[in-house]
Amino acid sequence: MAYKKTEQYDEQSTTGLIKNYREALSYLGEDPEREGLLKTPERVAKAMQYLTMGYQMDAKAIIESAKFHEEVSEMIVVKDIELYSMCEHHMLPFFGKAHIAYIPNGWITGLSKVARVVDVYARRLQVQERLTTQILEAMKESLNPVGVAVVIEAQHLCMMMRGVQKQNSVTTTSAFYGEFQKQATRSEFLKLIGSRLS
């Protein structure tokens, strides 16, 4: 059976992006008609729509699609969630891991939904600082938990391949709400995300 792609893209957006990327190649001194670049504007147009599909997603709806009443009062931690995003200043990628914890207040959500919330906001033009707080706010507003904690560690290509060109730099951002604003709870969370459980 022949391979067939099933991805769908907005036709108007794709057409407009193809035109603009073809022009951009010309402005960069390239020939958009040469063999290796003939399909590049279309590929980039589709890639950019995929990388920014978070604009069409609703984090709260995702959480609430698997929201369950449970009398659980212990910390729930989902760590090492891979994330890929685009810096809105240079439109270069940044990538890393998110660590999220919450203390339920009568409601929990499916563990995969926590990871999907990261994608909702990461798949947009972003800054890491805002990404961190958006994830926290979505968890807070959807579940009304006793506390939420979000830590993101990421590497930014805008720092690694241009500008200061520091290949080994890692940026860490954090946001805490409720019980996680207390030193003891925050310390427990930070210890858990720093450990390698076996």
The residues assigned a catalytic role are 87-90, 128, 156, 158
With contact defined as beta carbons under 8 Å apart, do 156 and 87 qualify?
A: yes
Question: What are 189's two structure tokens?
Answer: 């969370």
With contact defined as beta carbons under 8 Å apart, do 56 and 120 qualify?
A: no
Give 98-127 as a DSSP string: EEEEEE-SSEEE-HHHHHHHHHHHHSSEE-
C-alpha to C-alpha distances, 138 to 25, 98, 142, 154, nearest whole angstrom: 39, 14, 6, 20
Specify the residue for token string 């914890």: 101
With contact defined as beta carbons under 8 Å apart, do 66 and 113 qualify?
A: yes
With contact defined as beta carbons under 8 Å apart, do 73 and 103 qualify?
A: yes
Q: How far is CA 186 from the centre of its chain?
A: 23
Specify the residue for token string 């798949």: 123
Question: What are 170's two structure tokens?
Answer: 């890692």
